[in-house]
Amino acid sequence: MRDETKCLHSGYSPKNTEPRVVPIVQSTTYVFDSTKDVGDVFDEPTKALIYSRFANPTVMAVEAKIAELEGGVGAMCTSSGQAASLLSILNLCSAGDSFISTAQIYGGTVNLFAVTLKKLGIECIFVDANADEETINNAFKENTKAVFGETIANPALNVLDIEKLARVAHSHNVPLIVDNTFATPVLCKPIEYGADIVIHSTSKYMDGHALQVGGVIVDSGKFDYTNGKFPEFTEPDESYHGIVYTKDYAKAPYITKARMQLMRDFGAYPAAHSAFLLNLGLETLAIRMERYCENAMKVAKHFEKSDKIEKVIYPFLEGDASYENAKKYLKGASGVISIVIKGGKDNAVKFMDSLKLASNEVHVADIRTCVLHPASATHRQLTDEQLVACGINPGLIRFSVGLENVDDIIDDIDQALANV
């Protein structure tokens, strides 16, 4: 099946007289015929459903759909994108370990990696995404267990050279994790370029309608965890009577371990109703992404024509710093554009406050056009130095083009620019 078809049909195939739409199984628990049956699933929780803190039929249908869209062997939904980022690292790193991340990532992830994981004894080593392979190689330590980057960085819009990072990660026998939130599997499938684990904030394009926060982790099933660096995968898990993930779950050891250990213990699993809503968004994802890209391209070109704009960042614009990577890795550059208005922060605020159709929101990838000033909102916690390292000019505006008629979006921009 192609993406449009997978969006509608993957993950749930009703049989004779079953509901056409994936049902909402709003139940915390499941019944068993006998005490022995209950005991058996505690030894091996993937055998049957046991408790909705880590598995639920509605959520699992969505997990299967996203895994198919990304070309992975399994997926696990989380209650937010932040939870997906956190668990994707904790599944590989313990206190005393380190991992490498590109500096051009979402501000919330910077904080999670640089501050909160540090408190847990896990060190994040930041490297410039555009650094050459030798520089990234040199950043590795003996205890480095993963490499992390974003396909299209939020909000710098730097497009990741996925093959380069995969090569470097694999030469050190560690997996590459790619946050594919902005691209979605419709515009890029990082696993095809060597990524081992793909994560998303589903709160953005996948949900698409600004309805609910969520995340997901996808396992490519391709990384070899038996290389000696990952004993938690190859030695018996005493909390499950000695299961060995690379042996007993050889097809998808990463995601099985994430669910059986981390989701069991942290419990950041979405409710069935949230997954049902996410599924509605996914059904139209492929179609929506096409129109987001089309609208954004027109809006980006329109911004380029204005003499009030200092810079337009949109990876599919010729001459953009990421143009070559965009052409190589992406089918389109999503609906997100970054602009820098002449006159700095004051004019940025004046422009944003003059918009009538586009709303001022702490969100991106909404179905409606929305704008955000990262330096005063999502990236507020970062120092000026960190801002620059993430590729963010203090006067930068993140303009998230929605699915309104593009001429209405452009009319709104023009009347707002007239006030600047």
Footprint of ligand PLP (CB under 6 A): 80-82, 85, 106, 108-109, 150, 154, 179, 181, 201, 203-204, 213, 215
Q: Which two tokens stand for residue 21?
A: 């739409």
97 versus 179: smaller Cβ distance to ligand PLP: 179
148 versus 254: smaller Cβ distance to ligand PLP: 148
Closest-approach residue to ligand PLP (CB): 81
CB of 372 within 8 A of CB of 361? yes
80 versus 184: smaller Cβ distance to ligand PLP: 80
81 versus 374: smaller Cβ distance to ligand PLP: 81
Nearest approach, Cβ of residue 268 and ligand PLP (Å): 10
Nearest approach, Cβ of residue 202 and ligand PLP (Å): 7
Nearest approach, Cβ of residue 150 and ligand PLP (Å): 5
Count CA within 13 A, CB hemisphere, residue 151: 32
Nearest approach, Cβ of residue 336 and ligand PLP (Å): 9
3-class secondary structure per residue, the chain: CCHHHHHHHCCCCCCCCCCCCCCCCCCCECCCCCHHHHHHHHHCCCCCCCECCCCCHHHHHHHHHHHHHHCCCEEEEECCHHHHHHHHHHCCCCCCCEEEEECCCCHHHHHHHHHHHHHCCCEEEEECCCCCHHHHHHHCCCCEEEEEEECECCCCCCECCHHHHHHHHHHCCCCEEEECCCCHHHHCCHHHHCCCEEEEECCCCCCCCCCCCCEEEEECCCCCCCCCCCHHHHCCEHHHCCECHHHHCCCCHHHHHHHHHHHHHHCCCCCHHHHHHHHHHHHCHHHHHHHHHHHHHHHHHHHHHCCCEEEEECCCCCCCCCHHHHHHHCCCCCCEEEEEECCHHHHHHHHHHHCCCCEECCCCCCCCCEEECHHHCCCCCCCHHHHHHCCCCCCEEEEECCCCCHHHHHHHHHHHHHCC
Nearest approach, Cβ of residue 177 and ligand PLP (Å): 11
- b/e map 372-393, b = 16+ CB within 10 Å: bbbbeebbeebeeebbebbbbb
Which value, in Å, is the radius of gyration of the alpha carbons in the chain?
22
6 versus 379: smaller Cβ distance to ligand PLP: 379
Nearest approach, Cβ of residue 316 and ligand PLP (Å): 18
Nearest approach, Cβ of residue 128 and ligand PLP (Å): 18
82 versus 91: smaller Cβ distance to ligand PLP: 82
182 versus 223: smaller Cβ distance to ligand PLP: 182
Nearest approach, Cβ of residue 265 and ligand PLP (Å): 19
Neighbours of 352 (CB within 10 A): 18
Nearest approach, Cβ of residue 215 and ligand PLP (Å): 5
Nearest approach, Cβ of residue 106 and ligand PLP (Å): 4
CB of 71 within 8 A of CB of 285? no
194 versus 215: smaller Cβ distance to ligand PLP: 215
**Smallest Cα–Cα separation from 273: which of 86, 79, 4, 88?**
79
237 versus 361: smaller Cβ distance to ligand PLP: 361
Nearest approach, Cβ of residue 223 and ligand PLP (Å): 21
112 versus 309: smaller Cβ distance to ligand PLP: 112
233 versus 269: smaller Cβ distance to ligand PLP: 269
